[in-house]
Every structure is written in C-alpha cells, then in structure tokens.
Amino acid sequence: MEDRPGVDRASTGLAGGGDLRGRRALVTGAGSGIGDAIARGLANAGAHVVLVDKVADSIESLAAEIGGTPRVVDLCDLDAAGELGTDVDIVVNNAGVQHVAPVHRFPTDTFSMMFDLMVQAPFRIIRSALPGMYEQGWGRIVNVSSAHGLRASPYKGAYVAAKHALEGLSKTVAVEAARHGVTSNCVNPGFVRTPLVETQVAEQARLHRVPEEQVIEDVLLERTPVKRLVEPEEVAELAIWLCGPGSASITGTSLPMDGGWTAH
C-alpha cells in the first residue's frame, strides 16, 4: 500500500517531546504498530524504554535496536501487570484488541478479557506507578484510547465500553495527580496504518476487486473528512509531546487524531 499525499513520514523526527534523558518509560503493546513507533520515539528523545508485549520476538529485537528493556507479559495476568509500573517516570498504556459482534451475541469471556486488557491492566499499572511519580514530583501518563473512546459504533460493544472506561480513569488520575506534577491524558486515533488494518484493507480489495485506496476512502473512511489512514508515527509524535515539558499544563484531556471523524 503506497503512502498517501499529505504525510512526510521521514519528517516525523519525534523530537517534539523535548529532552527525556534520564527518564524511564513503560510502553505496553510495544511489539508493533503504534506501540513500536512510540517506543522508538521515546528512545530517540533520550528515555530508557521498557517494552511490554506478550510476544517475545517482537520486543526483544526492538529492545536490542533501541537499547531498551523487554518485558514479556500477558497483561491479562493482572497481578503481573500491577508490578510493571514501579520505577518508571512515564507510562504509555497502548495495548489493545478488537472483537466485532452484536451485543446480544457478544461472547462474555471475550468481553471480560478485553476489559482486563484495556481497563484493568492500565489501572494496575498506573496504580503502581503513581507513588514513585508523586515522590519525585513528576510523571507522565499517556493512555492510547481511540476515537471510539469518544463515540460509539455498532458491533464494537466491548471496545467502545473499554475505551470509554479508560477515558474516565485517565481524567480521574489527572484530577488527583495534578498537585504532584503528574499529568494524565488520552490520545484518540482513528483508523491507523497498522498491519491488522492493512490486512483488512487488502482482503476487502480482493473481495470487491477494487484498488486498496478505494477501500480506504469509500469503506473504511466513509465518514472521515481526511481520506487517508493515520500513520503510527503521527500518533507517536503526539504521545511523546505529551511526555515533555511543553505539555505540563495539559492534563485530563482527550486529543483526537482521527481525520475529523469525531467532528460529525
């Protein structure tokens, strides 16, 4: 799939977060897509990055490349998740999954698993990170939510509910933690160019015998004014900026990066 005009992917130097030397950052779901891009950007800004994923190969190779620390953890093991936040200055809760089904047929075990991964695990991680952040008077929490944390779509009940819950958690932390120099914000991407999305686009293009860009514009982004996928590096640049000194007065907010989808 070729890049769309309008994004200079080479220009995303990820320097907007400022100097993060001496900071220790935790990124979940770091093995691919948005998590990979955020981890690289934090490392470029000088932070030591703890890479969390349940797939060892993806984070071990990335850790070797950027000088980070791999942690192979299934975040649905909530006790293990609760041990990850100690001794970090920056938390990026990024890990997530999707399952599509109508509410009356949605598997209850899948619903519970998605809440564990996208609500309970972030809560456990934040809970363990805050005491150290409070003690030093500085901390940054970035929750990678979604446009679906602000709006709803049919057949995505668990994902929409979990992202709305993450939004509420993020805002509560922001209110509690502000006096300790800790900020908490959500980043809300729309459809991002990840391996999962690109596979879905390719399958739809083959099924309907149309170009992939037509699938993106006419199906995936039908209601989105900007007719291109968001790049992982764009989401990373925003997340990393929220970790730096220039965003110290921004907390408790949700920042859509969805091509205008939530403007409707």
Active site residues: 159
CB-based burial label for 148 (10 Å; 0-12, 13-18, 19+): buried
- Decide: 172 and 186 in contact? Cβ < 8 Å: no
String of b and e for 75-89 (b: at least 16 CB within 10 Å)? bbeeebbbebbeebb
Give CA–CA dist 226/251, Å, rounded: 27
- Decide: 53 and 39 in contact? Cβ < 8 Å: no
Closest CA to 54 of 83, 80, 91: 80
Dihedral sign from CA coordinates of 255, 256, 259, 263: negative
Closest CA to 58 of 14, 28, 96, 26: 28
Give CA–CA dist 101/44, Å, rounded: 40
Q: Hey, what are 100's tokens?
A: 């599509």
Question: Kindly report the CA angle at 34 between 45 and 97, in degrees rounded to 5?
Answer: 145
